[in-house]
């Protein structure tokens, strides 16, 4: 049931007054997920919170955390005459070291936007003389569909379908933030859709090992306000627990069927994250029995030269160390029309959200 605007406003006032009463010191909460970042801006939650409650964005925007080396590899593949690239649309504008997929498409590269990895299979079937490479970017939420696509390609005997995997897992990035000497997060709003697949267990360490409260959170304004309220109550009471605000969707055990497909096709592997560097066990690599679908195994590339954009502080934004307008490029040399870094490209990027919704409070 959806609330009316008036009911929502009354409920919001109730929560924010309660929050203001309970905060006795400045607290820093991280909304891990890019979808939460956008929902927080769109619903004006930042303006509702007392000044002592700071919200910082985290590493949960899949396009943003994909490093330039991946983009440069994808661009190098797109330049080959024997390939077709399939990708989600928001990868097109992300700047690589010296080009974008959009620029390569304009120059004639065969790059096709898909809304599901499964759409790559008919492309592969219709183009047997080409290698069709799907740019597999995303977290626990999207990886099961990519895994199902690999299984279907196997069933259909499509050996010209390949995957360039940059799938990532959220919990290892949180562990990196929590163990970093420069990070200070008092509580986490955890991504409801990733937890809907993984379940609660992978997030338990946040509270149990690091004594930081964490709440798995839905995406409506009231979900987020309630989750903030739960975090503040825990902090006020000196508690650190893992709570599930999004019980209508997230089961403690997650989605075992999706996880089974994922675990059949992929295994955890080290992965590079923009702003974090390499994190052990934070990526997903195709298991040996499916490695013939791996683009880098089947079509190795030499000498992909890569560098991060000069002055871009996207990495610090993704670790919650700065807010976007602390970057000197923000709103000047970096805008959604002319992005310098990935965080200004994706609709879920913190810089793009700050720009679109008017810079925070
Ligand atoms: Fe990078 Fe642009 Fe964000 Fe600055 S404003 S951190 S250059 S994406």
Q: What is the CATH number of the domain that holds 266?
A: 3.40.50.11740
Q: Is residue 147 part of a domain?
A: yes
DSSP reduced 3-state for 206: helix
Percent of the chain residues past pLDDT 90, beyond the cut: 78
Q: Dihedrals φ, ψ of 87, to 5°?
A: -155, 155
Q: What is the pLDDT of residues 244-266, one digit of tens each?
A: 999 999 999 999 999 999 999 99
As a whole number of angstroms, the distance between CA 274 and CA 68 comes to 8
The finding on whether 329 has its CB within 6 A of some atom of ligand 1 is yes
Q: Is residue 304 part of a domain?
A: no
Q: Give me the pLDDT at residue 216, please.
A: 98
Angle of CA points 128, 132, 135, to nearest 5°: 170
Please name the residue that has the structure tokens 């069927």. Answer: 257
From ligand 1's centre to the CA of 330, what distance in Å?
6
The finding on whether 330 has its CB within 6 A of some atom of ligand 1 is yes
Q: Are strands 131-138 and 83-87 parallel, antiparallel or unpaired?
A: parallel
Q: Is residue 325 part of a domain?
A: no
**Cβ–Cβ < 8 Å for 296, 136:** no
Q: What is the dihedral of CA 156, 160, 161, 167, to 10 degrees?
A: 140
Q: Give me the pLDDT at residue 361, please.
A: 46
Which uninterrupted H or E stretch holds 166? strand 161-167
Q: What is the pLDDT of residues 120-159, one digit of tens each?
A: 999 999 999 999 999 999 999 999 999 999 999 999 999 9
Q: Is residue 285 part of a domain?
A: yes
Give me the DSSP letters along 134-175: EEEEE-TTTHHHHHHHHHHHHHHT-TTEEEEEEEB-HHHHHH
Which of these, 202, 183, 145, 228, lies nearest to 319 by C-alpha position?
183
Q: Give me the pLDDT at residue 20, please.
A: 74
Window from 145-159, 166-180, 200-214, 333-347 with minimum mean pLDDT? 333-347
The finding on whether 327 has its CB within 6 A of some atom of ligand 1 is yes
Q: What is the dihedral of CA 34, 77, 128, 292, to 10 degrees?
A: -80
Q: Identify the domain containing residue 160 by its residue range.
A: 64-169+254-298
Q: Is residue 50 part of a domain?
A: no
Q: Tell me the average pLDDT across 49-72.
A: 92
Q: Is residue 329 part of a domain?
A: no
Ligand 1 mutation target, pool 274, 322, 327, 332, most atoms within 8 A of CB: 327
Please name the residue that has the structure tokens 């307008």. Answer: 325
As a whole number of angstroms, the distance between CA 190 and CA 217 comes to 6
As a whole number of angstroms, the distance between CA 350 and CA 358 comes to 12
The finding on whether 313 has its CB within 6 A of some atom of ligand 1 is yes
Can you give the pTM of this predicted structure?
A: 0.91
Q: Is residue 46 part of a domain?
A: no
The finding on whether 133 has its CB within 6 A of some atom of ligand 1 is no
Q: Tell me the average pLDDT across 255-281.
A: 96
Domain count, the chain: 1
Using DSSP, how many helices (H) and how many strands (E) does the chain show? 16, 11
Please name the residue that has the structure tokens 């994909």. Answer: 66
Instruction: Quickly list H helices, 184-220.
Output: 192-198, 204-208
DSSP state of 256: H
Q: What is the mean pLDDT of the chain?
A: 92
DSSP reduced 3-state for 239: coil
Q: What is the pLDDT of residues 194-249, one digit of tens each?
A: 999 999 999 999 999 999 999 999 999 889 999 999 999 999 999 999 999 999 99
Integer angstrom CA distances of residue 233 from 55, 182, 214, 217: 16, 25, 12, 15
């Amino acid at each position: 049931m959806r609330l009316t605007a008036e009911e929502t406003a009354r409920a919001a006032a109730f929560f924010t007054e309660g929050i203001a009463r309970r905060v006795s010191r400045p607290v820093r909460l991280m909304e891990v997920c890019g979808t939460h970042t956008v929902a927080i801006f769109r619903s004006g939650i930042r303006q509702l919170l007392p000044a002592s409650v700071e919200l910082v964005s985290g590493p949960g925007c899949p396009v943003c955390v994909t490093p330039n080396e991946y983009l440069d590899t994808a661009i190098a593949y797109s330049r080959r005459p024997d390939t077709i690239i399939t990708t989600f649309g928001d990868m097109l504008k992300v700047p690589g070291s010296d080009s974008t997929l959009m620029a390569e498409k304009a120059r004639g590269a065969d790059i096709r936007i898909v809304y599901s990895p499964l759409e790559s299979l008919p492309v592969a079937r219709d183009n047997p003389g080409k290698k069709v490479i799907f740019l597999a970017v995303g977290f626990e939420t999207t990886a099961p569909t990519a895994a199902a696509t690999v299984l279907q390609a196997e069933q259909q005997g499509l050996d010209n379908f390949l995957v360039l995997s940059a799938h990532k897992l959220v919990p290892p990035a949180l562990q990196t933030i929590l163990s970093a000497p420069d990070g200070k997060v008092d509580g986490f709003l955890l991504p409801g859709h990733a937890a809907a697949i993984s379940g609660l267990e992978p997030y338990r360490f946040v509270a149990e090992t690091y004594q930081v409260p964490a709440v798995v959170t839905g995406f409506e304004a009231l979900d987020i306000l309630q989750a903030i309220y739960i975090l503040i109550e825990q902090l006020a009471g000196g508690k650190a627990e893992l709570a599930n605000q999004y019980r209508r969707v997230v089961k403690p055990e997650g989605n075992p069927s999706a996880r089974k497909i994922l675990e059949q096709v992929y295994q955890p592997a080290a992965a590079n994250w923009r702003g974090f560097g390499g994190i052990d066990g934070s990526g997903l690599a195709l298991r040996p029995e499916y490695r013939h679908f791996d683009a880098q195994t089947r079509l190795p590339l030499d000498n992909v030269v890569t560098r991060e954009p000069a002055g871009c502080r996207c990495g610090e934004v993704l670790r919650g160390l700065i807010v976007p307008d602390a970057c000197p490029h923000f709103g000047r040399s970096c805008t959604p029309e002319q992005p310098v870094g990935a965080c200004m490209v994706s609709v879920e990027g913190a810089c793009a959200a700050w720009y679109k919704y008017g810079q925070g409070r």
